[in-house]
A = this chain, B = another copy of it.
Amino acid sequence: MVAQAEAVSKQPRQSAEYWRWVAAVGPALVLYWAPLPGLNAQQRHLLAIFTGTILAMMTQPMPVGACAFSAITVLALTNTLPAGRVLSGFANPVTWLIFSAFLFARAVISTGLGLRTAYWITQRFGGHPITLGYSVAASNVVLAPFIPSDTARGGGVLYPITRSLARCFDSEPGPTGGRMGAYLNLVGFHVNYVASATFLTSMAANPMIASFARKIAKVDVTWGTWLLGSSLPALLSLLLVPVLLYWLQPPSIRDTGRARRMAADKLAEMGPMSGREWILVVILFAVMAGWVTSNLHWVSNALVAVSGVTALLLCRIVTWDELLEQRGAWDALVWFAPILMMSDALLETGVVGVLSGALFAPIGAMAVVPAFLLLTGAYFYAHYGFASQTAHATALYPGFLTAAVGAGVPPMVASLALAFLSSLDAGITHYGTGSAPVYFGAGFVSQGTWWRVGFWVSVLNLLIWLGIGPLWWKLVGLW
């Protein structure tokens, strides 16, 4: 009886789901059987299963992890890849770097350190709407190295704070939204993905992107290299985006004293920092030191992260039981490992080279600068068609990077530009990344305004990251 009742409650929404399956599996089946010039059967099968997986990640007939797990099975059962190879993603250090970062996020959020940091910055610097916006931005950036998900950072820590700040000014979605809420809502959203672009560990797909860059463009993008490349452009974005938003969506209230007082009250309520928070701060600083100095020692970024998790366990900041309950971390593990493995296999078997050569043949004849702008622009605005940064980066980054390097763009410039745009493209829609529906769903801003603002912010970001970025990377010797 129990089992039956369960069965009924779990009846899927049959018809909608059916179409999701068709949209994912249909193209995969066609690719699997249709002869493609330049690809042999094994390459075609691999491409077909990869395409089906990426489409399934977008249409989601099942959760993303279940799609990835199924992809492993299909790859092995069709003998497209040997069984040992399909599991290799689980032994990839990149997978465990991502897994570890999810546990840092857990520790930062569960100890209250994340909230405390944001309140402290707000109380200290939130004296004007723009500096209040900067406070949100600064909080985001401080937490970003250890929270590799803009959904966790935005939804889990900073979105609730921007809502509370708006409430200080009696600004709710609707007529009072213009007082402060709409402005803070937009700032919160747009600085969030800029923070994702800033650190190797602030977005789950970033370590994967760095490993693509290593394999395709032969450039070593460590944690430190990434930050060196992002530092000036990120600073400019975080300084200018809140100003642009202030101009596009001006708050009618200018005195933000109430927000500072609320933050001070919250801090008082939290009391002094606990011993666990102090230990966590020490561990996180040690981890970051290990990352920043990675060219001075032999300990890889992933091993630094895994050591940090071990320290969290030894100091009981996160217990083993809590770790086992981190569904997000396990989900990422089972989701990323197959994707990484498939992307690697596509590269190694030459599929990316063949496809990129065929699709981007006209680019090869162009001058370097127009080719660079065309490729990066196309890569960026292709995100109007994606609901996930990881799906976008997995599907397009290797091909676009191959094309850019082929067109003569310096490998490091191509790698970094496309890497940063993989996060920055999240701002153009209300579905482009996990935090977008959270902020948009608050209801402060209409969809038209959201897209219009998103477009102008994207222009500013592209000017900064594509215009000033390469000059900065030249200046600091990255190319």
Contact = CB atoms under 8 A, between A and B. Distances in A.
Interface of A: 1-4, 6-7, 10, 12, 62-63, 65-66, 69-70, 72-73, 76-77, 79, 83-84, 87-93, 96, 110-112, 269-271, 274-277, 298-300, 302-303, 306-307, 309-310, 313-314, 316, 319-321, 323-325, 327, 330-331
A90 B91 contact: yes
A65 B320 contact: yes
A283 to B, nearest CB: 13
B269 A66 contact: no
Contact of A324 (B77, B110, B313, B330): B330
A116 to B, nearest CB: 9
Given A276-B7, A313-B66, A84 B93 contact: yes
Contact of A70 (B69, B76, B275, B310): B310
A22 to B, nearest CB: 15
B91 A84 contact: yes
Contacts of A111: 3
Given A65-B324, A83-B300, A324-B331, 14 more contacts: A3-B111, A6-B276, A63-B320, A69-B309, A70-B313, A72-B306, A76-B303, A84-B91, A84-B93, A87-B92, A87-B96, A91-B91, A324-B327, A325-B325
Given A1-B269, A3-B274, A271-B1, A70 B314 contact: yes
Given A3-B276, A73-B310, A77-B303, A87 B83 contact: no
A73 B324 contact: no
A110 B4 CA distance: 11
B306 A76 contact: yes
A40 B111 CA distance: 44
Nearest to A269: B1
Nearest to A313: B66
B7 A275 contact: yes
Contacts of A277: 3
Given A4-B274, A330-B330, A73 B306 contact: yes
Contacts of A316: 10, 12
Contacts of A93: 83-84, 87
B73 A307 contact: yes
12 contacts: A1-B270, A4-B274, A6-B110, A6-B276, A7-B276, A63-B320, A66-B320, A70-B313, A77-B303, A77-B307, A87-B93, A88-B91
Contacts of A330: 324, 330
Nearest to A111: B3
Contacts of A319: 10
Nearest to A89: B91
A205 B78 CA distance: 29
A162 to B, nearest CB: 21
Contacts of A274: 3-4, 7
4 interchain residue pairs of minimum CB distance: A91-B91, A90-B90, A63-B320, A324-B327
A156 to B, nearest CB: 15
A110 B5 CA distance: 12
A62 B63 CA distance: 33
Contacts of A62: 313-314, 320
Contacts of A302: 83
Contacts of A331: 324
Given A7-B274, A7-B276, A274-B7, A87 B76 contact: no
Contacts of A76: 303, 306
Contacts of A69: 306, 309-310, 313
A321 B87 contact: no
Contacts of A63: 320-321
A269 B1 CA distance: 7
A20 to B, nearest CB: 13
A83 B303 contact: yes
A336 to B, nearest CB: 12
